[in-house]
Amino acid sequence: MDLEQGDRVQIVKNDVVYEGIVRPSNTEHIVLKMDSGYNAGIHPENAEITVVEKKETEEKTQFFKPESASTKQKSNLPKVSILSTGGTIASKIDYRTGAVTAQFSADDILETIPELSEIAEFTGNVVYNVLSENMKPEYWTELAKTVSKEIENGADGIIIAHGTDTMMYSAAALSFMIDTPVPIVFVGSQRSADRPSSDNAMNAICAATVATSDIAEVTAVMHGTTSDNYCEIHRGTQVRKMHTSRRDAFKSINSDPIGFVDYSNRKIETISDYTKRGTRKLNVREQIEPSCGLVKFTPGTSPDVLSHYIDSGYRGIVLEGTGLGHVSTDWVPEIERAVNSGIPVVVASQCLNGRVCDRVYDTGRDMLKAGAIEAEDMLPEVAHVKLMWVLGQTDDFDTAIEMLKSNISHEMTSRSLC
């Protein structure tokens, strides 16, 4: 039987029924995109194959193709720049390999989600096109410069399409790098655009709503529940991805989100204070020092691990300690050696929720005497990004320590639990 890409077929094999759309295949197997969003590869031998519906003609397909983003723009709407960096929200299945790859440009995103054209007048720019795991600190600098240029050119808001796995790092970095007069909104999706369960459209629409609001901070806007009812607005320095695949993976830690976006009516409800549009002048400090380590302490780990970072030329170290922020006693001399060498050592907690307090137990007191700096209730990865940013601003050890102890971009809350 001659099957064409786009045909809907039903295949019965070994008493199992498969139905879906025929996709490209580089093997003898027939690849179907099923209604569940998943792919199935079935070898045709001894299979009963029925064509349920032939693919649409070229003319019909063209008729239903959405208009391009540029032809649907309205000139009386706010101007928003959408910057694509890659990730699942800008990805689709490569049916040659079965892998999800970053392939969509910013214009592709706008064309795929035509509802965006009702919210703002968009311009698109691909800053870089990488999957989340390939993000590097130098990319944050490039992204900050691009965001700054877009704001200087009159953008009323910025949307950054980003992979979810490292979004919290990039959002934290830009939170420190940019004092912004307009909203800067990170958005991603847990599931690629060509899956029926994709969260890309709702997340993007809610992100655009925030980008045109008066919330002039760096935020991340993602699903608030597994249903399509609302998105949460998280501060860039207080958000963390807490699940590998759920659509509501992102949560604010040690704080409430700024608010929520109702998907049904695109209305924003805020529950936390925030910096309002136009309050600050644009100021960009994008320099960063990438030679900083994030070291997770585990029971029995030799202090030689810390010694490696000290002797390898690292300029700063974040220790992810246990509980209130502890490492074993035999690590304390190496902490002191690092500090005496001009290397700041910041201590965060593996617990994520709660505040570091090294004044309760003897080991913590010894760590403070050795010169360790408490990260308060900062997330370990936020403390890591902040340390990189601080050391990019100054070479003076005392100034760096003062900046690390200061609350610069809502990365720490003022209430102490110690």
| Per-residue DSSP letter, 363 | H
Distance CA 258, CA 246 (A): 21
What value does the mean pLDDT take over residues 393-402? 97
Can you give the pLDDT at residue 26?
58
What value does the mean pLDDT take over residues 230-245? 97
User: What average pLDDT does the chain have?
Assistant: 88
- Please list the alpha-helical segments (H only) found in 153-241: 167-177, 200-211
Can you give the pLDDT at residue 105?
59
SS3 123: strand
Residue-wise pLDDT for 272-326, tens only, equals 999 999 999 999 999 999 999 999 999 999 999 999 999 999 999 999 999 999 9
Active site residues: 88, 164-165, 241
Amino acid 45 reads E
Reply yes or no on whether the pLDDT at 62 is more than 70: no
Residue 120 binned pLDDT confidence (cut-offs 50, 70, 90): very high
Reply yes or no on whether the pLDDT at 107 is more than 50: yes
Can you give the pLDDT at residue 93?
55
Can you give the pLDDT at residue 59?
35
Distance CA 267, CA 384 (A): 35
Highest CATH level, class, for 292-405: alpha beta
Q: What share of the chain in percent tops pLDDT 90? A: 69
Q: What number does CATH give the domain 76-284? A: 3.40.50.1170
SS3 335: helix
Are the CB atoms for 187 and 88 separated by under 8 Å? no
Can you give the pLDDT at residue 89?
65
Residue 94 binned pLDDT confidence (cut-offs 50, 70, 90): low
Residue 138 binned pLDDT confidence (cut-offs 50, 70, 90): very high
Are the CB atoms for 207 and 221 separated by under 8 Å? yes
Reply yes or no on whether the pLDDT at 58 is more than 60: no
Reply yes or no on whether the pLDDT at 125 is more than 90: no
Can you give the pLDDT at residue 65?
31
Residue 366: count of CB within 10 angstroms of its CB? 18
Are the CB atoms for 84 and 126 separated by under 8 Å? yes
Residue 91 binned pLDDT confidence (cut-offs 50, 70, 90): low
Can you give the pLDDT at residue 35?
77
pTM over 0.85: no
Reply yes or no on whether the pLDDT at 73 is more than 70: no
Are the CB atoms for 277 and 214 separated by under 8 Å? yes
Torsion sign across C-alpha atoms 160, 165, 171, 177: negative
Reply yes or no on whether the pLDDT at 96 is more than 70: no
The 3-state secondary structure of 302-325 reads CCHHHHHHHHCCCCEEEEEEECCC
Residue 74 binned pLDDT confidence (cut-offs 50, 70, 90): low
Highest CATH level, class, for 8-53: mainly beta
What value does the mean pLDDT take over residues 102-131? 78
Two tokens, residue 101? 């790859």
Listed by start position, the domains of the chain span 8-53, 76-284, 292-405
Can you give the pLDDT at residue 418?
44
Residue 222 binned pLDDT confidence (cut-offs 50, 70, 90): very high
What value does the mean pLDDT take over residues 232-244? 97
SS3 185: strand
Reply yes or no on whether the pLDDT at 417 is more than 50: no
Residue 193 binned pLDDT confidence (cut-offs 50, 70, 90): low
Can you give the pLDDT at residue 6?
83
Query: Identical fold at 76-284 and 292-405?
Result: yes
Give the distance from CA 173 to its chain's centroid: 11
Distance CA 25, CA 31 (A): 6
